[in-house]
Structure 1
Amino acid sequence: MINKNHIIIILFLMAIGVMFSCTKKDWEEYYNDYDEQVDRNLWEVVKEEPRYTRFVEYFEEYELDSLFESGLSFTLFIPDNDAMELISDTSGSIDKILSNHISRTVFLTRNLETTRKLETLLGKFAVVSRTSNGYSFEDQAIEYSSPLYLNGKIYEISEIAYPKPNLYEFTQLFSSVISAYIDLNDSAYLDKSLSDPIGFDDQGNTIYDSVVSVVNLFERDFFPVSQEFRDKSATFILFTQDQYDAALDVMAGSLGSGYISHEDIPEKWQFEILLPDIMEKSLFDDRLEYHQLQVDMVSATGDSVVIDPTNIDPDSKYVCSNGLVYTYYDFEVEKDLFQGETRIEGEELIDSIGAGVFAWKEDVVASGLTVAPDKQYAAQASEGMLVNVQFQRNYSGKYSLEFSFKNIFPMRYRLEWRASYRPSGVFSLYINDTDLGSYDTYNLRSSVISVTGERFIPEEGFNIKDWWVENITDFGDVIIRIEYLASGLGSNNGLNIDYISLIPDLEE
């Protein structure tokens, strides 16, 4: 008779048997999944395979077969002869295409869970993926996996895996003005990390043997679009070169006389005004799918920007090696960039050189009385700040200040000078050496009649004086000069600027 204890022992032994049989099966499957190893040279095997003769011919033509003399191991992704017959030199050179099929590592698909980026000999990171039907290399199906040879492994792929352009290479192909703009941002600097100190100058400053390095300011400030990364990417929203040229054609028509097509728009304006403005709203961190593009975005520089997702073509998405590209349905130049107000805030004319100590910027010229500018804070100022130069009371000497508006198109303008009536003086204002007239800024304490007939009302001591400007006949920089003439009605003398603006007269 079998008692309860016998039953428990029998059930326990049966459970152990089941566990052992399952464990044995799992381990057998695990070990069987390992690649077969063959003691042969990888390249010798490739050369002997009839399906790979075209691949071998190209390899030997471009002397890539010398790689296998290095003693290193490689993984080759090889299209068969039929696929190689269709090779086209779309990436600049055949050797670059071939280099995209080589990795300086032994890659085993059994270690792959979903996707992995594999660095190729070209320096790009190719994507190897597990699919529902097996595996793929750069979206090309892997149709055969070789044994593991002495110095590497072979995967046969269905088609040629052309190298994807990076974001910079994409602009070279489809929007050359952007690649030219990026190139122009190269900047040389003294690289102290590579330079050795060799002595001191008379002021005690260290002298270096001057190793100069180059940094691209665009790639530093936005994203390194020409570099390849395993886990870093960006999204670039671009226009095509045709869209860009067409937009400049429309702009030229708006400018009128002397401007007929995109060829008439100065490159200086494009590279210093237009393209910096566009780039601030075009580059974003990470690979963003279309549904992730919103009206309010944070750009790659960390700034908050506004875009129009409805003007971005979702079907234009192109996968680059280091990011995604979208293009616009329509592209146009914002009129405010060339027909809007150009304003210089007073505080933009100075730099801080110490705690509470300021100096004019290098391109600002002050003459006459030697006196340092000061930055003052005032709630009534346009940006809460203004620049002030204080003279002696009842000052009768000379003083002038000269600076310029950059990249101004020829047309009629109205110039506005906003300031406080304290301190004050009688000043003449010149545009490109043409005297617009004199004005006692003490009168800003009262209402001022504009050249348009409008009345400017004072705001706690601040007001506006304006003039017509009709001597800007060519594109370029517009020089402003303010000259002090006399003390005027007020004895508290000095020059202050909240802002000075050039406003196009579009009703002319």
Structure 2
Amino acid sequence: MRSIFKIILTVFVAIQFVGCTNKNWDDHYLTPPPTINTNVWDAIKSNSELSGFVTLMEKYNYDSLFMTDNTYTLFIPDNSAIAKMAPSQVSDTTILNYLISRHYIQPMDIKGKRKLQTLAKKFSTFESGNGQPTYDGIPLAFESPLYVNGKYFIMGEVALPKLNLYEYFAVNTPYLKAYIDSKDSITVDQAKSTPIGFNDKGQTVYDTVAIKYNSFETKVFPVSTEWRNYTSTFVFPRKANYENGLTAMAQKLGGRFIDYKDIPIKWQNQILIPYLIKQGTFLNMLDVNEFRDKSVLTYKKKYTMMNISGDSIIVDYKPSDPYLCSNGLFYEYANFVVPEKLYSDTIKMQGEALVRPQGVKFVFKDIKDSIIVKNPGGFSPNREYIKGASNDSIMVVNFTKGYKGIFDVDFQSTNLFPRKYRLEVLTKMDIGGIYDIYVNGVLLKRTPTSVNSFDYAEFTKVRGGLIKSVTGATLVPRGQFNKFDFYVDNIIDYGKPKVRFEYKGPGTVANNGLVIDALYFIPVAN
């Protein structure tokens, strides 16, 4: 009996709740505001604070917009703001178009930032949720009630159409803009290209439609296009700050480097700018307090944020001076410094990079990989996996005992910044011979009186296997491996220097051949 009573009581309360709820919603929807039958334009004209805006609208016949059933939201500068406009700003309808949206805007329904498409076809930024709504960062001092065909807001400044990110880069970060432009290419629009016949070889001939394709806009962010729900944040130094950072880098390098003009553009496009993009491009528009320079878990400088590509990065800069674009947000570097690791770290090239597998064997890569081999003896290279090597593997070519013929391997190293280096050649001590080693056509010698670049066996015989570096330090063997080094100071342009190992004959070591574990290009301070 008690259970039945509980059920009856529950049903009664539920009915009462639904009745009250329906009544509240009815009041909400069925009680119209007193302005609901008034034209929004009539309300605007009756506000003396907006007479300057009314005059501009009537000058270009924009008052006719409100003779239709379309709904508009207007962001209206007061008379004081209108009076400050330059003659060029009121010479056409560009700014008027930017102050009017075809959408009904209700601040209580918006949390955070929202992109609005205006009559100018450009997107503005409406933000709500922080106490006072803003339009492109300008506080909205007044919000009208709803009228039959829209509503309006009043602000104390004129909102000017914002540049999109690409337009902003063109004016303020020309180095980034030029980098993006360099990613343009022409490709075929397969959807619009149609087959029209066959050529003499029976191959299909297409009536092709070519289109421009930009890999940056496809893979990173479409900076020249505006979207309602797709924005990004870029952190990049503006022109003066960028050039100052390069000048500081040049002065740190010394020698022939004086200022930013001496830093190779090719290096900037291949190393510096991609690094800055990776470190400073994010999805959505981030407030400055959303940048973290320490892990929220460890409170240390580990991976702290995720960039637009989904990579974990460490934020080691302070963003400042934001500029709101129509499709994102731009921040300047508070203090831009080119990271030394980008131009002063050791550059490594593995010996096994010279070969490729062919069936169950290995062969040298060919001329299309910029590798030229003179090998009349027909000796096959191999990639051997040995723990303790620089990459746990080496490239080795075994010659016949006492071979005195020709063997040269000519290749390009990895890209190097133009400066002085100490080149370390990592090799295996029980295979060798007498070699001349060239970089960009210049024979490398360990001493001015050296005849050849290196004969490892002579060191094992005379010095017990201990080789002195050109710095004076002793290069201690690591198990089967040792190394020798040279100074290289003829790399004057950014790029891949040519390296050649030229066999001159057998040494006194029992096994003749060539072993390259790795080449280390170690920058040397001027």
TM-score normalized with structure 2 length? 0.73
Deviations 1:416-457 (A, max 9, x none): 111335764433211221111333467798443322232223
Contact in 1 for aligned 2:246/2:259 (Cα 8 Å): yes
| Cα distance in 2 between the residues matched to 1:473 and 1:131 | 56
- Which residue of structure 1 aligns with residue 443 of structure 2? 435
Deviations 1:333-364 (A, max 9, x none): 23343344333233455677999877358352
Q: Which amino acid aligns with 1:109?
A: Q
Counterpart selection for 1:456 from 475, 483, 491: 475
| Pair 1:335 & 2:332 matched | no
Contact in 2 for aligned 1:201/1:207 (Cα 8 Å): yes
Deviations 1:308-354 (A, max 9, x none): 2xx415x6344444444443332222334334433323345567799
Number of residue-to-residue matches in the alignment: 484
* C-alpha distance 479-425 of structure 1, shift in aligned 2 (>3 A): same
Q: CA deviation at 1:306?
A: 2.8
Deviations 1:213-245 (A, max 9, x none): 333333344333343333334333332322222
- Which residue of structure 2 aligns with residue 272 of structure 1? 270
Contact in 2 for aligned 1:421/1:444 (Cα 8 Å): no
Contact in 2 for aligned 1:418/1:464 (Cα 8 Å): yes
- Which residue of structure 2 aligns with residue 124 of structure 1? 123
Provide structure 1 residue ranges, at least 5 long, that are not aligned to the other structure. 1-11
- Which residue of structure 1 aligns with residue 418 of structure 2? 409
| Pair 1:148 & 2:152 matched | no
| Cα distance in 1 between the residues matched to 2:343 and 2:247 | 14
Deviations 1:134-183 (A, max 9, x none): x654444253356234xxx3524324233444444443444332233233
* C-alpha distance 430-210 of structure 1, shift in aligned 2 (>3 A): farther
Contact in 2 for aligned 1:444/1:464 (Cα 8 Å): no
Contact in 2 for aligned 1:234/1:285 (Cα 8 Å): yes
- Which residue of structure 2 aligns with residue 418 of structure 1? 426
Q: Which amino acid aligns with 1:75?
A: Y
- Which residue of structure 2 aligns with residue 365 of structure 1? 371
Counterpart selection for 2:74 from 39, 55, 77: 77
- Which residue of structure 2 aligns with residue 247 of structure 1? 245
* C-alpha distance 476-18 of structure 1, shift in aligned 2 (>3 A): closer
| Pair 1:27 & 2:26 matched | yes
| Pair 1:397 & 2:402 matched | no
| Pair 1:316 & 2:321 matched | yes
Equivalent residue of 1:281, what SS?
helix
| Cα distance in 1 between the residues matched to 2:192 and 2:262 | 44
| Cα distance in 2 between the residues matched to 1:353 and 1:76 | 68
Equivalent residue of 1:416, what SS?
strand
Provide structure 2 residue ranges, at least 5 long, that are not aligned to the other structure. 1-10, 294-300, 445-451
| Cα distance in 1 between the residues matched to 2:83 and 2:356 | 64
Q: CA deviation at 1:479?
A: 2.3
Deviations 1:361-419 (A, max 9, x none): 835231323788665543323233444556667653333222145353244x3211113
Equivalent positions of 1:47-126 (< 5 A) are: 55=53, 73=70, 75-80=72-77, 82=79, 83-87=81-85, 96-103=94-101, 105-107=102-104, 109=106, 112=109, 114=111, 116-121=114-119, 122-126=121-125
| Cα distance in 1 between the residues matched to 2:17 and 2:412 | 90
Deviations 1:5-38 (A, max 9, x none): xxxxxxx99x999986885565134222479666
- Which residue of structure 2 aligns with residue 237 of structure 1? 235
| Cα distance in 2 between the residues matched to 1:221 and 1:183 | 14
* C-alpha distance 136-274 of structure 1, shift in aligned 2 (>3 A): closer
475-484 vs 271-280, which deviates more? 475-484
Contact in 1 for aligned 2:246/2:260 (Cα 8 Å): yes
Q: Which amino acid aligns with 2:412?
A: F
| Pair 1:225 & 2:233 matched | no
Equivalent residue of 1:362, what SS?
helix
| Cα distance in 1 between the residues matched to 2:182 and 2:475 | 44
TM-score normalized with structure 1 length? 0.75
* C-alpha distance 43-200 of structure 1, shift in aligned 2 (>3 A): farther
Contact in 1 for aligned 2:164/2:225 (Cα 8 Å): yes
Equivalent residue of 1:269, what SS?
helix
* C-alpha distance 212-66 of structure 1, shift in aligned 2 (>3 A): farther
Equivalent residue of 2:387, what SS?
coil
Equivalent positions of 1:193-208 (< 5 A) are: 193-197=191-195, 208=206
375-384 vs 468-477, which deviates more? 468-477
